[in-house]
Amino acid sequence: MHVAVPNKGRLHDPALNLLERAGLHVQDGADRKLYADTVDPEVSLLFARAADIPEYVADGAAALGVTGLDQARESDVELVDLLDLEFGRCRLVLASPEDGGVTAPEELAGGTVATEFPRITERYFRDLGVEPDIVEVSGATELTPHVDIADAIVDITSTGTTLRMNRLSVVDEVLESSVRLFAHPDVADDPKVRQVKTAFRSVLDADGKRYLMMNVPEDALEDVEEVIPGMGGPTVMDVAGTDHVAVHVVVDEREIFEVVPDLKAAGASDILVTEIERLVP
């Protein structure tokens, strides 16, 4: 089974990092290759441009694809959106010159909009009942209003810095995007596809979590349980030959700083905090 992943750019390294953390270790590296094996003999990687990945999946060249929602929507092919991988977040926005006077998309009726995403842009304006002239460009979209090519643009932004540098202001949000795991409709319920999805999900669920272990006197257990802010009830095990129990629990990383002193005050000792690589419900 092929999994298509970005071959370069800002999505390449995070995608490979997620694969590694999910246990799908890439064999012999991935630089300058079209394909790479993983430790799972049933799963191999196909490296492609992020914009081409939806087509690879739709055509059956890959069963799964890791790419942005914006790329999938622009390709306009039938895919199953299996999982938000929670990186590569950005917005596709309608923007115009700060001094251009455009304050609403309806004001662009009969005007010109430049974009690298003509299909998304066309659907956006069609849903609004507005008909501008949409010009497809392949780069430097933010310059087009300043050289009289367009009255406004639809472009990707993460922080808005590039828009501000080019004296453009956001008129409306067209699409909120992030990197997703997409599947071909015919294999979305395949056991191996579900296995890959579960592996990815376990990595995402482990982010920001820590595994907390401690020894607690039996008579202090209730006090300690009141302090623990875990995902559920803690696991409690007898410690042989003592009047203590071992308590294990998963907690949010941001709570560790405050909760450890509270646990000590409640009677816990030998407190150990460790990272969690994967968390499978």
> Measuring CA to CA, which residue among 171, 116, 114, 102 is closest to residue 144?
114
Q: Check residue 179 and give its pLDDT.
A: 98
C-alpha distances out from residue 269 to 17, 49, 184, 212, 266, Å = 35, 52, 51, 12, 9
Q: Check residue 94 and give its pLDDT.
A: 97
> Measuring CA to CA, which residue among 65, 175, 170, 161 is closest to residue 117?
175
Q: Which one of 3.40.50.150, 3.40.50.620, 3.40.190.10, 3.30.420.300 gives the CATH number of domain 2-88+178-205?
A: 3.40.190.10
Lowest-confidence segment of 28-42, 153-167, 233-247 by average pLDDT: 28-42
pTM: predicted TM-score of the whole model, two decimal places:
0.86
Q: Could you tell me the pLDDT band of residue 27, with boundaries at 50, 70 and 90? A: confident
Domain boundaries, the chain: 2-88+178-205, 90-177, 209-275
Q: Check residue 32 and give its pLDDT.
A: 58
| β-bridge mates for residue 183, sequence order | 64, 80
The fraction of the chain above a pLDDT of 90, given in percent, is: 83
Homologous superfamily of domain range 90-177: Periplasmic binding protein-like II (3.40.190.10)
Amino acid at 112: T
**SS3 state at 280:** coil
* CATH number for region 209-275: 3.30.70.120
Mean of the per-residue pLDDT values for the chain? 93
Higher pLDDT, 206 or 232: 206
Lowest-confidence segment of 30-39, 140-149, 190-199 by average pLDDT: 30-39
Tell me, what DSSP letter sits at residue 168?
E
| Residue 30 pLDDT exceeds 90 | no
The average pLDDT across 179-206 equals: 96
Tell me, what DSSP letter sits at residue 26?
B
Is 2-88+178-205's fold the same as 90-177's? yes
Residue 162, token pair as written in the block? 């590039």
